[in-house]
Structure 1
Amino acid sequence: MLPKRFEFLDGIRGIAAIFVLMRHTSTLWNFPVYRSYLAVDIFFILSGFVIAHAYDRRLATGALAWRRFVLIRLIRLYPVFLLSLLLCGALWAVKIVHQDVPDYGLLAQLAVAMLLHALFLPAHMGASTALFPVNGPYWSLFFELAANFLYGAVRPLMSRRGNIVMLICSSIVVAGVGYRQGNLDFGYDWGLWSMAGGLARALFGFFFGLLLYQSHEAFLQRLRGRLSPWVAIVAVAAVLASPGAGALDPWLDMAAIVLVFPLCVLVGAQRPATTGGLTQALMVLGAASYPLYVMHRPVAQLLHGVLGRLPAPLGGLVLTALVVMLSVWIEKRLDIPLRRALTARLVQGGGAVAEGRAAGSQR
């Protein structure tokens, strides 16, 4: 039977999502979180880990068909994604129409971008170079789904050696693009290098997560509780908040995604000794992480006029509290009921989705 969830991995995911929020609302904080762009690499690794926990055995044996797996993944992401897309689209439309001279050509491009984004596809809009100009953070979902779908297709034929080959090949691309750019902050805009690097980041993290899941029980048996899982959360936060180091940045970034983050996931896979208030807080962070990731930009845009008047970092703290509370409400009141309804209608038998949720708050 699957364990109920990995509480500390929930916490890691939630902390990473908050760092993304801080990165995109830097004026409300007044202090840098330079390496917070690596938060998506944490998401990719955790995605591989919890998806392996929920589905790997059945995909490997053919008990779970690729088409059903794809439906499960789309249902997991789509309700909150669509809600955020509609909100972002509305904000963009209001902004365009209320210019001194409304740009109806840009409004038409927005409509096309909305349609493409609704299919998790990138689009061009105006002068933006972003893959997903309506809401930039969607780029990581695009590449994560690509990694998910590839995994579901090849898993019945994939060996551990094949997984390692995928890791080596994708790490070479990530390192190469990182060296060329000067860090691993790429994948979110148009261009061959950026898109190749973004896909490689997703493939590397996701397939590393699969490998970590296959190894985590043996690792934890050797660890025997000698290292607190709280260390993993602190280490992830320390990396994401660490300052730039010039020419060393690509190498420090690679060290983070190859060594530090995987070790943090293994250590964080421990079960809590007790189920007190802190454990509940971790679960709340995990539940809030995905809505927080896709909703923080439009919410920040709506509230920036008010929060910007508060002294930093108070404005950022208030925004974080509001977005977390909103995200928890969305997850409980909208996301879960909609996913249950979609699962009942589109997926024959809802057990797969239930097991996926039991594994942890998958993104």
Structure 2
Amino acid sequence: MTSPKGRGIFRRRFKTKLQAITFSSIVRSAKLRRREMVKELPSRIAYLDGFRGIAIILVTLYHAYSRWPDLVPYGSEYVGFPPAYYGGLGVQLFFMISGFVIYMTLEKCSGFSEFLWRRWLRLFPAMLVVSVLIFSTAWLLPERPGGIPQLRDLIPGMLFIEPSWISTISGTPQGVLEGAFWSLFVEVKFYVIFGGVFFLAGRRWAEAVLGLCFATSFGTALVNRFIHWSILERLQIVLDEYCSFDNFGWFLIGAITYELSGKFDRRKFLLLLLLSLAVCAYSGLGCYDLTMFVSALLIVTFVGAVYSGTLKAVLATRIFVFFGFISYPFYLFHENFMIAVIRKIGSNIRPLPDFIIPIFPLMIVVLIAFLLAEYIEPFLRRILRMTGETIKGSTTPSDSKMTPSGISAPCFSTRSDRLEEKSISANIF
């Protein structure tokens, strides 16, 4: 029942009761729709974070149980354990996620420079802190697979530049602080090529160039299987080791999946199907195991999550979302530290069953990664953002402020970059 005050307002603003009822219905409908959107948005973010969580778990299993059988005390006992053996494909899952969310980021940026600024703000703070932490503590862990790093090994991570590029330019071998950094160098190449073409020529050309890069690498690899020409072998090294074109198909799968998530298109879906077959074939090229099948399973799961509410709900469970939240600093820090501590435990005391030896170092890595993602990264990012805005304001007067990053990357997730994600992460525990 409408109050007298309400009836008075209706009488003053509307000539008839029907107009008032219609207006009221529109307002209620808008409010309900807004509530639904607010509820739906965290769900979408949560399922992507869930994918990140699964990806980092797979990579960790691979590094803990399959990557270093000659170093760990349990040797090759668990190398054949499927989640560990194929866990390295978790990096390719990161690439698909990155293709999906970077497409969203590009649509929200006004230009290429803003896009690169956002990506640098996203990646640099954790890289800086983790690099300093690793370099300053490495002497305590001589069991590290990578050994004790030199000061110049900090350069590739700080600049996000492929070590082979630096070696070619300087003429001297260039090391890297952590072997796992390789995927960051691949990501940055993707950012520059896809983002640059996106703003220069549009989304269609950006996807076409990405596909052409992958097709060139795949085609060269196929020819090399049958014709062993030295020039083709050198070309393959340039395409894959220097340019990372062999991984661009995974990014393109993510980008096309993002397009299909907004509007289904049969031609796009057919293109995605053909691309997925090529990516799976390339991943299994020369492998006599189930790599091709596992790659296909990852792709089907990733694309299927766009259309399956049940799958989204599974991915949005707290454990997956939590590991997705800490995935970036965790990934940067975990490998050498984990293996070094495993070797210490194995060479001194071994009261634990072999399979659970990695749990202790992983608990330390989780704690450090959480502190970085929750407190240190946002703090440094705010400082860098304010510094950038101050410099920009002093050089180019403008009334507008740079829009803070609203989309997470990598392929990796951070709470401070997305206000919506705070509502998810606050309920993790």
Alignment partners' CA distance in 2, 1:320 and 1:120? 26
Change (3 A) 1:153 1:254: farther
Aligned to 1:52: 103
Alignment partners' CA distance in 1, 2:329 and 2:123? 10
Matched, 1:285 2:323: yes
SS of corresponding position for 2:372: helix
Change (3 A) 1:359 1:132: closer
Aligned to 1:35: 86
Aligned to 1:9: 48
Alignment partners' CA distance in 2, 1:213 and 1:312? 42
Alignment partners' CA distance in 1, 2:371 and 2:223? 41
Aligned to 1:323: 365
* 1:60-71 paired onto structure 2 within 5 Å: 64-71=110-117
Measure how far apart 1:332 and its partner are: 0.1
Aligned residues: 312
Alignment partners' CA distance in 1, 2:345 and 2:316? 28
Alignment partners' CA distance in 2, 1:180 and 1:278? 43
AA of the residue aligned to 1:39: G
Measure how far apart 1:276 and its partner are: 10
TM-score normalised by L of structure 2? 0.61
Which one of 190, 199, 204 corresponds to residue 249 of structure 2? Answer: 204
AA of the residue aligned to 1:316: P
Which one of 361, 378, 387 corresponds to residue 345 of structure 1? Answer: 387
Alignment partners' CA distance in 2, 1:160 and 1:85? 37
* 1:10-159 paired onto structure 2 within 5 Å: 10-26=49-65, 27=72, 30-32=77-79, 33-53=84-104, 55-59=105-109, 64-92=110-138, 110-123=150-163, 132-156=175-199, 157-159=201-203
What root-mean-square deviation, in Å, do the aligned CA atoms of Structure 1 and Structure 2 show?
Answer: 4.1
Alignment partners' CA distance in 2, 1:282 and 1:154? 34
Aligned to 2:34: none
**Higher mean displacement: 139-148 or 196-205:** 196-205
Measure how far apart 1:72 and its partner are: 0.9
Contact between 1:130 and 1:136, CA under 8 Å: does it hold in 2?
no
Contact between 2:141 and 2:341, CA under 8 Å: does it hold in 1?
no
Contact between 2:97 and 2:410, CA under 8 Å: does it hold in 1?
no
SS of corresponding position for 2:298: helix
AA of the residue aligned to 1:56: L
Matched, 1:160 2:204: yes
Contact between 2:102 and 2:409, CA under 8 Å: does it hold in 1?
no
Change (3 A) 1:113 1:248: closer
Alignment partners' CA distance in 2, 1:261 and 1:138? 22
Alignment partners' CA distance in 2, 1:112 and 1:218? 48
Change (3 A) 1:335 1:130: farther
* 1:258-337 paired onto structure 2 within 5 Å: 259-269=296-306, 279-301=317-339, 303-308=341-346, 309=350, 310-337=352-379
Measure how far apart 1:306 and its partner are: 4.8
Measure how far apart 1:264 and its partner are: 1.8
Measure how far apart 1:139 and its partner are: 0.9
Structure 1: 5+ residue runs without aligned partners?
A: 99-105, 182-190, 221-243
Contact between 1:116 and 1:122, CA under 8 Å: does it hold in 2?
yes
Contact between 1:50 and 1:362, CA under 8 Å: does it hold in 2?
no
SS of corresponding position for 2:357: helix
| Bigger radius of gyration among the two | 2
**Can you list the C-alpha shifts for 1:113-137, whole angstroms capped at 9, x where unaligned?**
22343212244799xx997532101
Change (3 A) 1:75 1:214: same
Measure how far apart 1:153 and its partner are: 1.1
Change (3 A) 1:278 1:203: closer
SS of corresponding position for 2:178: coil
Contact between 2:95 and 2:251, CA under 8 Å: does it hold in 1?
yes
Contact between 1:28 and 1:314, CA under 8 Å: does it hold in 2?
no
Contact between 1:123 and 1:132, CA under 8 Å: does it hold in 2?
yes
Contact between 2:59 and 2:89, CA under 8 Å: does it hold in 1?
no
Aligned to 2:418: none
AA of the residue aligned to 1:320: L
Alignment partners' CA distance in 2, 1:141 and 1:276? 28
**Can you list the C-alpha shifts for 1:261-315, whole angstroms capped at 9, x where unaligned?**
3332222346867989962222211112111111102431552345433322111
SS of corresponding position for 1:134: coil
Alignment partners' CA distance in 1, 2:209 and 2:387? 38
Percent of pairs identical after alignment?
22
TM-score normalised by L of structure 1? 0.70
Structure 2: 5+ residue runs without aligned partners?
A: 1-36, 66-71, 226-233, 266-282, 393-400, 415-429
Change (3 A) 1:23 1:360: closer
